[in-house]
Structure 1
Amino acid sequence: MAIESIDTSSIPTMVPRQSSRRSHALFVALQKDIVLGDLAPEKALTELDLAQRFQCSQSTVREALMQLHEEGLVIRQPNRGTHVAPCNADDAAALLRIRHEVECSTLDRVVARTQDALLADLRGLLNAMRNAARDADEYLLSVYDRAFHLRLFEAADLPLVTPILTRCLIHNHRYKIQRSQPNRALDETAERHVPIIEALAARDEAALRPLLSHHILTIVDFGPDLTLQGVST
């Protein structure tokens, strides 16, 4: 599969495009394979194999792998090569706790800075999620879901924290997708964002806080081993 054949036009950018167009397209393709489990946890990845698979240079592969490493989707170690990162319950629980703290503890800043442009963007991303759900595309729905929460957090104006939230989101969704049953209620997943937009539009922080907290804590049925003990909703 040539790298030019990968269509990324419908996928919102989740990281700054500091690399070439070709390496970004490869990053998007590999990110999808890892999140869906097509590249299994712990699988070894070599630059030569990936360059041959995607018909691109090894330098292009290297740039893409560096971006994936920044997201924690691959682990690169000297003399040990590159491997797909694990996807286990303990990591998922820890990242969910961090995500909950980051999003819910900054809502005062978000509400205070909410403007019509933010609400319009969130409604547009909601419609994109609805379209993905209609097409039964769980991965694309998850991409727009992540974009929704990053756009919401953007209003908090805490750019140094954004990479932390980005990593939490991608791993939350990876864990969820790899443990979900086929043909889940994707429409319901999209519609879960409606009350968040409504509370934000009303600038009602008191209503928004428990809504967002519940939304995050119920992203997936983690089970008793991953409950967030002591987290106020």
Structure 2
Amino acid sequence: MALAGGSLRRMSLRDQALSVLREALVTGDLAPGEVYSAASLATGFGVSTSPVREAMLALVDEGLLEALPNRGFRVVSFTEQDFAEIFELRMMLEVPGVGRAAELGVGDRVERLSQLVDLIEKTAEERDLAGNLQADRDFHILLLEATGNRRLVDSVAVLRDQTRLHNLRSLTADGDLADSAAEHRPLLDAVLRGDRTLAEKLMRRHLSHIPGDWSKRGPDA
């Protein structure tokens, strides 16, 4: 099976396979309930099986795929309770995390954060869902890195990937993608001003869209 993303050439093959597979989860090219083999995906990428298998095992560790002995890997299907727990955890971790970043300052990350806000807005305008979600992920993870808490960053990264596990293409159809994108610049401004209270308020509002996004994922999610 060939997925969007082209051949794997730069960075380590394992890391690039991981990036392409994450995108495939978001776009629905890898669908919940279906079984995929590392060998067939590797053939589509034009690489050996090993780096693709390593990438898929990493996604197993993150709770996005499950390994099926002698069969391959299956995309995890989440229940409504799973979604509720993920949302609650993200509220518990990301809201105070962003507040802490505002309190401590983001150091030399200002330029990159500003570039990511520009990219989030640009990809939303172009209705590039995969590009937008990647830029969104990079922005929020980079913000949290300012806290200096590696375990917080790692935990949120996994939760954010689980949030995006299912196809969210409907976001591009009704303007929600643009509305969400527009919330990043005020958030960054609040963080850069060191306004913890406002940063937490804006982050809480930003995350409040998640249940609505999930409700649009459709009957096949």
Q: What TM-score results when the alignment is normalised by the length of structure 1?
A: 0.79
Q: 1:142 and 1:8 mapped to 2: Cα distance?
A: 23
1:198 to 189, 192, 206: 189
Structure with more helix by fraction? 2
**CA 1:158/1:208 → structure 2, altered by over 3 Å: closer, same or farther?**
same
Alignment of 1:45 with 2:36, yes or no, is yes
**CA 1:223/1:148 → structure 2, altered by over 3 Å: closer, same or farther?**
closer
Counterpart contact for 2:25–2:166, Cα < 8 Å: no
| Residue in structure 1 matched with residue 112 of structure 2 by the alignment | 121
- Per-residue CA deviations over 1:48-89 (Å, capped at 9, x if unaligned) read 222322222121221121222233221124456421111443
| Residue in structure 2 matched with residue 184 of structure 1 by the alignment | 175
1:36-115 matches, cutoff 5 A: 36-78=27-69, 81-115=72-106
| Residue in structure 1 matched with residue 219 of structure 2 by the alignment | none
| Residue in structure 1 matched with residue 12 of structure 2 by the alignment | 21
What's the CA shift for 1:134?
A: 2.6
Q: 1:68 and 1:91 mapped to 2: Cα distance?
A: 17
Counterpart contact for 1:3–1:54, Cα < 8 Å: no
**CA 1:123/1:181 → structure 2, altered by over 3 Å: closer, same or farther?**
closer
- Per-residue CA deviations over 1:99-155 (Å, capped at 9, x if unaligned) read 111112334531232145333322111001122123220111011111111011111
- Per-residue CA deviations over 1:198-229 (Å, capped at 9, x if unaligned) read 211221112221111111122351689xxxxx
| TM-align CA RMSD | 2.8
Q: 1:57 and 1:222 mapped to 2: Cα distance?
A: 36
What's the CA shift for 1:163?
A: 1.8
- Per-residue CA deviations over 1:184-203 (Å, capped at 9, x if unaligned) read 34332211112211211221
Q: 1:129 and 1:8 mapped to 2: Cα distance?
A: 25
Q: What TM-score results when the alignment is normalised by the length of structure 2?
A: 0.83
Ranges in structure 1 where 5+ consecutive residues have no aligned partner: 10-19, 225-233
What's the CA shift for 1:97?
A: 0.9
**CA 1:123/1:219 → structure 2, altered by over 3 Å: closer, same or farther?**
farther
1:132 to 90, 110, 123: 123
3-state SS of the aligned residue for 1:83? strand
Counterpart contact for 1:196–1:212, Cα < 8 Å: yes
Ranges in structure 2 where 5+ consecutive residues have no aligned partner: 216-221
| Residue in structure 1 matched with residue 6 of structure 2 by the alignment | 5
Q: Percent identity?
A: 23
Counterpart contact for 2:180–2:206, Cα < 8 Å: no
1:141 to 132, 145, 150: 132
Q: 2:97 and 2:110 mapped to 1: Cα distance?
A: 17
**CA 1:147/1:181 → structure 2, altered by over 3 Å: closer, same or farther?**
closer
| Residue in structure 1 matched with residue 162 of structure 2 by the alignment | 171
**CA 1:115/1:53 → structure 2, altered by over 3 Å: closer, same or farther?**
closer
3-state SS of the aligned residue for 1:50? helix
3-state SS of the aligned residue for 2:67? strand
